């Protein structure tokens, strides 16, 4: 199950970055910029995750935007720390994390192409 996904968009990196940050915020993430083209996003409670595992999962994602050939942009989205996600949420947590990463990128694609 992938804990990182990459997509290429036919849009300038600045536009992709701004839309990606908006998607993360709309999905309830607290977003912290790390440089000009990267962000860390987190939501959920560590305590609830420890007690309830995958039922109350804390998500920590890293999103990176890269300039591609021409005006294209590449977006990498994945977990910030694969080890802690594996231990804290078990199989259910891994499945939810994988679906969330895909959901973030699907939402970004819908905004950019819609």
* Nearest residue to 80 (alpha-carbon basis) of 94, 61, 67: 61
Answer whether residue 94 is part of any domain.
yes
| Domain at 49, CATH number | 3.30.310.80
Answer whether residue 60 is part of any domain.
yes
Answer whether residue 61 is part of any domain.
yes
Give how many domains the chain has, as a whole number. Answer: 1
- Asked if residues 75 and 105 have their Cβ atoms less than 8 Å apart, the reply is yes
Q: What is the pLDDT of residues 70-106, one digit of tens each?
A: 889 999 998 876 555 545 567 777 788 888 899 999 9
The model's confidence at residue 68, banded by pLDDT at 50, 70 and 90, is confident
Q: Which domain holds residue 29?
A: 4-109
Answer whether residue 19 is part of any domain.
yes
Q: What is the pLDDT of residues 5-62, one digit of tens each?
A: 999 999 999 999 999 999 999 999 999 999 999 999 988 766 655 565 555 567 889 9
Handedness of CA 38, 43, 45, 49 (dihedral sign): negative
Whether pTM > 0.75 for this model: the answer is yes
Answer whether residue 114 is part of any domain.
no
């Amino acid at each position: 199950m992938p804990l990182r996904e990459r997509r290429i968009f036919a849009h300038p990196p600045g536009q992709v970055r701004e839309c990606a940050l908006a998607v993360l915020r709309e999905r309830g993430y607290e977003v912290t910029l790390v440089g000009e083209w990267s962000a860390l996003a987190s939501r959920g409670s560590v305590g609830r995750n420890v007690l309830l595992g995958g039922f109350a999962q804390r998500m920590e994602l890293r999103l990176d935007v890269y300039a591609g050939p021409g005006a294209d942009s590449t977006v990498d989205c994945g977990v910030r720390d694969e080890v802690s996600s594996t231990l804290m949420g078990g199989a259910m947590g891994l499945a939810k994390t994988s679906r969330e990463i895909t959901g973030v990128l699907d939402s970004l694609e819908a905004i950019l192409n819609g």
